[in-house]
Amino acid sequence: MTASRCPACDAEFAPTEKNCPVCGAAPAADSPIPSLACAGEEAVLGVIGGATLKQGFFRRPTFSLVVTSERIIAARVTNDMLRQAAKDANDNAKESGKGLARRWLATMGSGLTFQNRYLDLPPEQALHEHESNFAFAADEVRSVKTHTQHAAEEGRQLPDELIFKLNTGSKHRFRLRPNCAADAAKVLRPLLGKRVK
């Protein structure tokens, strides 16, 4: 079998895999793997996890950005959701006979892979999962700028930025984990093309 390349992170993976094992992105339309979405159905292309958005003076809630074939959904990630994911991961590891160390690893890893749940969740359900979730259509986006900030001090890492400029003149400015802007751009390009800079 010939390996496929992920459209988001360029990693190789087996054609039998549904999503990229590295970043979780769905295969591109021209990939040898058939799309699971029916024609005309909104499909999830990828997810950008750990994006924070300034709201008010001190609040900076975390969102997973669900990139679909039609829009970008900002899905709020709450502490309760992360606690439940950790509990579920521990319970699943325990049920499958894993020891204490493996259950601990599964629990710790659940926070890092939490955003992958949106790959299989219907987009409309992701949008309505929390009251502060919102979305904007691909045709509303004028441009997307990714920015990697460089620290003045060596060894200090600053968050990257992802700035969506909409046709209405408004902006959505998200902070990402350090060195994640390029990966975010790869997830967004299948939907937004050259508007991602």
Range of the structural domain that residue 66 is part of: 37-195
Nearest-angstrom CA–CA distance, 14 and 27: 11
Note whether 130 and 177 are same-domain residues. Answer: yes
Residue 172's identity, in one-letter code, is H
* 71/152 same-domain check: yes
Average pLDDT over residues 32-48: 69
CA distance 47 to 115: 7
- The total domain count for the chain is 2
Is pLDDT of 166 > 90? Answer: yes
* Whether pTM exceeds 0.85: no
Residue 88, pLDDT score? 86
d(CA 97, CA 73): 37
Does 11 share its domain with 74? no
Which pLDDT value is given to residue 90? Answer: 85
Give residue-wise pLDDT tens across range 134-157: 999 999 999 999 988 766 666 677
DSSP for residue 101: H
**pLDDT value at residue 138:** 96
Mean pLDDT of all residues in the chain? Answer: 82
Query: Which segments within 69-170 are labelled E, that is strand?
Result: 71-77, 134-137, 141-147, 160-166
What pLDDT, on a 0 to 100 scale, did the predictor assign at position 103? 83
**What whole-number distance in Å separates Cα of residue 161 and Cα of residue 52?**
9
Convert the pLDDT of each residue in 72-121 to its tens digit.
999 999 989 888 888 888 888 888 888 888 888 888 877 777 888 899 99
Average pLDDT over every residue of 164-172: 95
> Is residue 188's pLDDT more than 80?
yes
- Checking if the pLDDT of 32 tops 70, the result is no
102 and 19 housed in the same domain: no
CATH number, domain at 173?
Answer: 2.30.29.30
One domain for residues 80 and 13: no
Same domain, 183 and 148: yes
Is 85 in the same domain as 10?
no
Same domain, 72 and 126: yes
Clarify whether residues 116 and 60 are in a common domain.
yes
| Same domain, yes or no: 52 and 107 | yes
Say if residue 43 is in the same domain as residue 131: yes
Residue 14 has pLDDT above 70, yes or no: no
The reply to whether 96 and 76 lie within a common domain is yes
Measure CA 37 to chain center. 19
Q: What is the pLDDT, as a whole number, of residue 74?
A: 96
Q: Residue 47: which pLDDT band, with cuts at 50, 70 and 90?
A: very high
pLDDT of 149 reads 75
Strand partners, 145: 163
